[in-house]
A and B are shown apart, each in its own frame.
Chain A
Amino acid sequence: EPEVTQTPSHQVTQMGQEVILRCVPISNHLYFYWYRQILGQKVEFLVSFYNNEISEKSEIFDDQFSVERPDGSNFTLKIRSTKLEDSAMYFCASTRDPASGTDTQYFGPGTRLTVL
């Protein structure tokens, strides 16, 4: 069964450093998302991406964040200058049909980001 994959599984970085989190969505999916989950809290939406541009973003997704689909398979989340409060589990998700609200979002295993 196809899966969303994410690398690395755990990233430790110093405050102020740039990090790039990588995701490979399911191959025939067209709509991609990043969510995050701060320890002990709910899963929160960051950004959605379709047709090589941001479709929607939350207030969390400020100028320090960016997303890119650099090739036909990868989908990346970049944090330019990490803060302590960016420490969280970051989940990538994808869905096949961009027009349908009924479509299931499939999630990757997550990248645990620890900012020291």
Chain B
Amino acid sequence: AQSVAQPEDQVNVAEGNPLTVKCTYSVSGNPYLFWYVQYPNRGLQFLLKYITGDNLVKGSYGFEAEFNKSQTSFHLKKPSALVSDSALYFCAVRDFYSGNTPLVFGKGTRLSVIA
């Protein structure tokens, strides 16, 4: 069975500092990995995904994520945080062999960027 763990409920970072939101996953085959962001009273917005190739994936709003197969991780990063990045971030996974199956989500990490 597929699963995703986001070990931190809350991450606080000062504006201008680098940020990391952690995600680890478990799948039986090769993973497809996704990050979504949810702003207050809004839906889930797609940020980036890892399918294959380069382990460092770049996405929207200056975010990037690094796929690490040996550590089964897909941490979300940004070199310099903005107050407007404050939101709820979800990591999700799908198994390579499962076709167009539903995404399995982590429980979310609330990012708070302080001015």
Contacts and interface: CB of A to CB of B under 8 A. Distances in A.
Contacts of A91: 43-44
A9 B61 CA distance: 26
A7 to B, nearest CB: 13
Contact of A98 (B34, B90, B100, B102): B100
B83 interface: no
Interface string A8-37: 000000000000000000000001010100
Nearest to B104: A45
Interface in B61-115: 90, 92, 94-96, 98-108
Nearest to A41: B107
Contact of B108 (A6, A42, A93, A109): A42
B105 A42 contact: yes
Interface in A36-94: 41-45, 48, 50, 55-56, 58, 91, 93
B34 A104 contact: yes
A115 interface: no
B104 to A, nearest CB: 8
B20 to A, nearest CB: 20
Interface residues of B, number: 27
A110 to B, nearest CB: 5
Nearest to A106: B46
B90 A99 contact: no
Contacts of A4: 43
Residue of B44, B46, B95, B101 contacting most chain A CB atoms (<10 Å):
B44
Interface of B: 32, 34, 36, 41-46, 49, 51, 90, 92, 94-96, 98-108
Given A42-B90, A48-B101, A58-B102, 8 more contacts: A55-B100, A100-B100, A101-B94, A101-B99, A102-B32, A104-B34, A104-B46, A105-B103
25 contacts: A6-B43, A31-B100, A33-B102, A42-B108, A43-B90, A43-B92, A43-B103, A43-B105, A48-B100, A56-B101, A56-B102, A91-B43, A95-B100, A99-B99, A101-B94, A101-B96, A101-B99, A102-B32, A105-B34, A105-B46, A106-B46, A107-B36, A107-B44, A109-B42, A110-B43
